[in-house]
Amino acid sequence: MNKKLIKPGNYFMNGNFACAEAALIAGMNFYAGYPITPSSEIMERLSYRLPQVGGHFIEMEDEIASMAAIVGASNAGAKAMTATSGPGFSLMQENIGLAVITETPVVIVDEMRGGPSTGLPTRVGQGDVMQAMWGTHGDHEAIAYAPSSVQEMFDLTIKAFNTAEKYRNPVIVLTDQVIGHMSERLLVKNYEEYEVIEREIRKFPDPIGKVHDFSIDYVPMVIAGKGFHYNIDSLTHDEMGYPSNDPKIEEMMVRHLVEKIRKNEDNIVEYKEYLTDDAEVLIIAYGITARSSIEAIRKLREKGIRAGMLRPITLWPIPKRKIERLSEKIHIIFVPEINFGQYSHAIREHTKVPVKEIHFPPGAVPDPKIIIRNIEGDAT
Amino acid sequence: MINLDFESEKVYNTGRAPINIHAFKVPLGKVHIIKERCKECGYCWTYCPKEVLEKSDYVNKNGYHPPRIKKGKESACVACGMCEAICPDFAIFVEEIKNE
Amino acid sequence: MIEEAIHPKDIYLRSDRFPHIWCPGCGLGIVLKSYVDAISKLDIPLDHHVLVSGIGCTARLPGYANVDSYHTTHGRAIPFATGLKIVNPELQVTVISGDGDLFNIGGNHIIHAARRNMDILVVCVNNFNYGMTGGQHGATTPEGARTSTTPYGNIEHSFNLPYIMASLGASYVARWTSLHVRQLTKSIMKAMKMKGFSFIEVISPCPPNFGKYNKFNDGLSQMEFFYENSVLDNNADLSEAYIDFSGKRPLIVGEFVQRIRPSYIELERDLIKRAMEEP
Ligand SMILES: Cc1ncc(C[n+]2csc(CCOP(=O)(O)OP(=O)(O)O)c2C)c(N)n1
Ligand code: SF4
Ligand code: SF4
Ligand code: SF4
Ligand SMILES: [Mg+2]
């Protein structure tokens, strides 16, 4: 391990710096970005730190370029990342699709702020949840982690790189302004304790004989300059990488892209449960909102309401089997979000119990009192 | 305009070497036509400096008339390579005949 | 005398994909020819050549060359190529894409790549319109020209590509037409040997779209126009090098800029070295 990586130990650090340091531990060696509040500290930190470990940092002309550059860099063999917030995330969508169709591992950090449009640059929001899933056009599966502490920002950033490599798919770290900007305790473990998945790069001469294989979930990636002379295409393509108009080819390709994630859902999905064992009322919350919810649960339990929480760590894929199972013993689900109802829609698909939305307008950390008031009003 | 000296111009000179006027023979070329690739743009027969080529009556599988060698021009090709260079469809090339 | 045989350039092509999709008389096949001719003559290992494109008729070109190729999204070939090149400077990264791709939707990227003196070669095939989508007007459509979206004639001023690229600091700037095959090949070879950002504009016929709307019946008539109006002038005043089809002004071609300026890769490698040496 590089001796210029952050040393194991205890730190008091903000989420953005934690994300940057974690990316270095994960082996990221290419970062391209464009400044945007509240994520800019990630790129500022990396402009200083990446060259120290021999990596590449470039500030691009916009987020479209940043996204395209990391897909290019990954195709040259790098572990690549960018970080942004709502407006920039919108601009990145088309080339997130490029990463999907070319099966290029990359990591995108999106720090949610208030929207729509330029919205509330310096204040928290959770309005990009559906965009993270459906922002880029066409059929695909998304993988998005939602950290709810600085520690998780660190740990999940490393995991995001691993998952991206494992499934050759873009992976999103979907966090928010508060997590990015707040400072709290961070424990950096000894490097050996971190799992870091290195990319399996295909060796020339090619044992497979084609650039893609739609019949298996994972084939080692072909990178530029190794002698393969393959075509890698944003158009619907066959296994040789050649463009095709054939609906049968489209079906084979898309089925592969979707299935390689769906089949492995159980390995990808992560969540945490709080006091769900005896819960009658379930809160499903993520990111900063989950922290307000814990406070709310404590107070509700003091008042005799048996509330518990499911906190999806992967917002996408959604922990649907867990939601289904919990739905058997609880009678209502509350979904507080810093938006006017997004993740709640996805939850409804996997439960028969009523799903109540608790809307928090972007701009502030959700007040536990409002969560409590909503639950008291409905649950009793 | 800024025009710095560009080293070793000759290395990059991809044109034919200037014809040695002391040599006795002008090179002879053998033209190959890949008829099924042709799209009948007419560039080869228009830009052949020796007017060796013309449109043929043959119709290829895509409905185009590839070039052919004009009657009486069978040994007129000087292997200048223009037809090969200008053909957008990689449908014609020329082989220089080595005259011993 | 005539017989079917294998084209000597087929080894540099994905010949199983031939005939290509381009229209009769389209200049793109000639640009492909020049590219493969150039790489076949240079001393750069074939495995190091990478072709990147955006979307459009021109952007299909990399798919026909037997090198590592990336057909990316509309307008984004240059940032994609930037990522490739920075990670592996050993690669000879060439972007070949259309005028619309590089200067309309991707305009922001090309000006910044030139400013950075990013070590890539960009070949812009300018057919004065969006060929792929049916011949709509773009930033390079000459004033007055007709296209499928300028039925009354184009009222917008058009880009003068070499002038823009030279002013932005590109290390190498040239313009040819698809008739100037040999010069184009030589130019590509030169540009690949340059450090920093190189730019070559290739004026090219698009018979069914720009051609049809502007009284060029076929590719040949547009080639004839290039033949009659091209003037080689390496020292041209580039501010005067814009193009119209009035036939009243020369179509200036040549190698306009060749200069040595620290390239991005050189500067970045130096920066990394300094940062790594810091205690
Ligand atoms: C984001 C996006 N917008 C629009 C298109 C549709 N489109 C495909 S090719 C093209 C124009 C290509 O023009 P140019 O780059 O000049 O290439 P040409 O076809 O003329 O070679 C357009 C607008 C697209 N593919 N993506
Ligand atoms: S090689 Fe030259 S002379 Fe011979 S046919 Fe072709 S263009 Fe004509
Ligand atoms: S230049 Fe090529 S495509 Fe055009 S007519 Fe001649 S052989 Fe056919
Ligand atoms: S539409 Fe124009 S640019 Fe496209 S293949 Fe046809 S001639 Fe070439
Ligand atoms: Mg065009």
Closest CA to A343 of A293, A278, A377: A293
ipTM of this complex prediction, to 2 decimal places:
0.97
Residues in the 5 Å CB sphere of ion ligand 5: C 98-100, 127, 131
Q: Is C127 a domain residue?
A: yes
Nearest ligand 3 atom to the CA of B87 is 1
What confidence tens digit (pLDDT) does each residue in C120-147 have? 999 999 999 999 999 999 999 999 999 9
Mutate to test the interface with C, among B16, B36, B89, B97 (most CBs of C within 10 A): B89
Ligand 2 midpoint to CA C200 (Å) = 27
Ligand 1 center to residue C77 CA distance, Å? 12
The preferred substitution site among C101, C137, C159 for testing ligand 1, maximizing ligand atoms within 8 Å of CB, is C101
CA of C42 to the centre of ligand 2 (A): 25
Confidence check: pLDDT of A282 > 70: yes
- In the reported structure, the alpha carbon of residue B67 is separated from the centroid of ligand 3 by a whole-number distance in angstroms of 7
Interface test with C, best of A75, A106, A204, A222 (most C CBs within 10 A): A75
Distance of CA B75 to the CA centre of its chain: 14
Chains A and B touch (3+ CB pairs under 8 A): no
CB-based contact C276 A243, cutoff 8 Å: no
pLDDT tens digit sequence for A18-52: 999 999 999 999 999 999 999 999 999 999 999 99
Angstrom distance (rounded) from CA C85 to CA A16: 28
**Residue of C38, C166, C190 with shortest CB distance to B6:** C190
Question: Among A102, A125, A137, A119, which residue's Cα sits nearest to residue A174?
Answer: A125
Q: Is the pLDDT at A3 greater than 80, yes or no?
A: no
- What does the alpha-carbon distance between residue A132 and residue A171 come to, in Å, rounded to a whole number? 10
pLDDT digits (tens, 9 = 90+) for A103-131: 999 999 999 999 999 999 999 999 999 99
CA B81 to mean position of chain CA atoms: 3
Residue C4 covered by a domain: no
CA C136 to ligand 4 center in whole angstroms: 12
Beta bridge partners of C130: C136
C3: pLDDT strictly greater than 90: no
Polymer length of chain C: 279
The preferred substitution site among B38, B53, B57, B94 for testing ligand 3, maximizing ligand atoms within 8 Å of CB, is B38
Residue with CA nearest ligand 3 atom 6:
B44
Residue owning the nearest CA to atom 4 of ligand 2: B77
Burial of C278 (0-12, 13-18, 19+ CB in 10 A): exposed
Torsion of CA C211, C217, C220, C224, to 10 degrees: -80
> What average pLDDT does this structure show over A166-184?
98
In a domain, C104, yes or no: yes
Does ligand 2 come within 6 angstroms of the Cβ of B79? yes
Name subunits touching A (3+ CB pairs < 8 A). Answer: C
CATH of the domain at B36: 3.30.70.20
What distances in angstroms separate CA A131 from CA A67, A107, A119, A134, A258, one per listed residue?
16, 16, 16, 5, 17
pLDDT at C279: 78
Tokens 């945490």 found at: A272
Q: What element of type H or E holds A86?
A: helix A86-101
Query: Does the structure show a pLDDT above 90 at C2?
Result: no
Q: C-alpha distances in angstroms, C119 versus A36, A74, A157, B22, B72?
A: 27, 18, 31, 44, 52
Instruction: Write down the residue that tokens 């424990």 correspond to.
Output: A187
C148 φ, ψ (degrees, to nearest 5):
-70, -15
Tell me how many degrees the CA angle A341-A344-A345 measures, rounded to the nearest 5: 90
| Percent of chain A scoring above 70 in pLDDT | 99
Asked if A78 and C47 come within 8 Å (Cβ–Cβ), the reply is no
Q: Does C73 reside within a domain?
A: yes
Q: Report yes or no: A304 and A275 within 8 Å, Cβ to Cβ.
A: no
Instruction: Give contacts of C85 with chain A, Cβ < 8 Å.
Output: 76
Per-residue pLDDT at B22 exceeds 60: no
List Cβ neighbours of A44 (8 Å cut-off, separation of 6 or more). none
Give pLDDT, residue B27: 84
pLDDT at B2 over 50: no
C contact residues 69-108, partner A, Cβ 8 Å cutoff:
69-73, 75-76, 78-88, 90-91, 108
Nearest CA-CA partner of A361 in A340, A341, A343, A336:
A340
Residue C3 within any structural domain of the chain: no
Q: Check which CATH number belongs to the domain holding C87 and give it.
A: 3.40.50.970
Q: C214: part of which helix (H) or strand (E)?
A: none
The candidate with the shortest Cα–Cα distance to A127, out of A115, A135, A136, is A115
What DSSP letter does each residue of B9-36 carry, written as one string? GGGG--SPPPP-TTSS---EEEEEE-GG
How do beta strands A332-337 and A314-316 pair? Answer: unpaired
Pocket test for ligand 1, best of C53, C76, C130 (most atoms within 8 A of CB): C130
CA A306 to chain centre: 31
Q: Does C17 touch chain A (CB under 8 A)?
A: yes
Interface contact flag, C189 B14, Cβ < 8 Å? yes
Partner A contacted by C272 (CB < 8 A): yes
| Among A53, A68, A73, beta carbon nearest to C87 | A73
Is B9 inside any structural domain? no
Of ligand 2's listed atoms, the one at least distance from the Cα of B84 is 6
The residues with which A334 forms a beta bridge, in sequence order, are: A283, A356
Number of folded domains that form chain B:
1
Query: Which residues of chain C neighbour B30 with C-beta distances below 8 Å?
Result: 1
Triad A67, A71, A75: Cα angle to 5°: 165
State which residues form the domain around B80. 26-97
Q: Which domain holds residue C74?
A: 23-277
C43: left (phi over 0), alpha (psi -120 to 50) or beta: alpha
Nearest to A318 by CA among A278, A341, A276, A284: A284
pLDDT above 90 coverage of chain B, percent? 69
| Alpha carbons within 13 A on the beta-carbon side of C214 | 30
Closest partner CB to A71 (pick from C69, C83, C86): C83
Q: What is the pLDDT of residues A65-109, one digit of tens each?
A: 999 999 999 999 999 999 999 999 999 999 999 999 999 999 999
pLDDT at C228: 96
Helices (H), A148-286: 150-167, 177-181, 247-262, 265-268
C23 DSSP 8-state letter: P
Question: Half-sphere exposure of residue B56, counting CA atoms within 13 Å on the CB side?
Answer: 22
Q: Are A312 and A271 in contact (CB under 8 A)?
A: yes
Q: Is B6 left (phi over 0), alpha (psi -120 to 50) or beta?
A: beta
Task: Please name the helix (run of DSSP H) or strand (run of DSSP E) that holds residue C198, with its range, or none.
Answer: strand C198-203
Q: B–C contact (≥3 CB pairs within 8 Å)? A: yes
Round to whole Å and give the CA distance between A307 and A276.
7
Q: How many CB atoms lie within 10 A of CB C144?
A: 15
CB nearest to C70's CB, from A29, A70, A75: A75
- Residues of chain B contacting residue C25, judged by C-beta atoms under 8 Å apart: 39, 41-43, 88
The whole-angstrom separation of Cα A125 and Cα A120 is 8
pLDDT tens-place string over residues C169-223: 999 999 999 999 999 999 999 999 999 999 999 999 999 999 999 999 999 999 9
**Contact predicate A86/A127, CB 8 Å:** yes
**Is the shortest distance between the CB of B77 and ligand 2 below 6 Å?**
yes
Domains of chain A: 9-193 (3.40.50.970), 272-379 (3.40.50.920)
Strand partners, B93: B32
Helices (H), ranges, chain C: 28-41, 77-87, 99-100, 107-116, 161-167, 181-193, 212-213, 219-229, 264-277
Residue B2 lies in a domain: no
Between the CA atoms of A223, A227, A228 and A230, what dihedral angle is there, to the nearest 10 degrees?
80
* Six token digits for residue A53: 């470990």
Q: How far is the CA of C28 from the centre of ligand 4 (A)?
A: 8
Task: Please give the pLDDT value at position B4.
Answer: 34
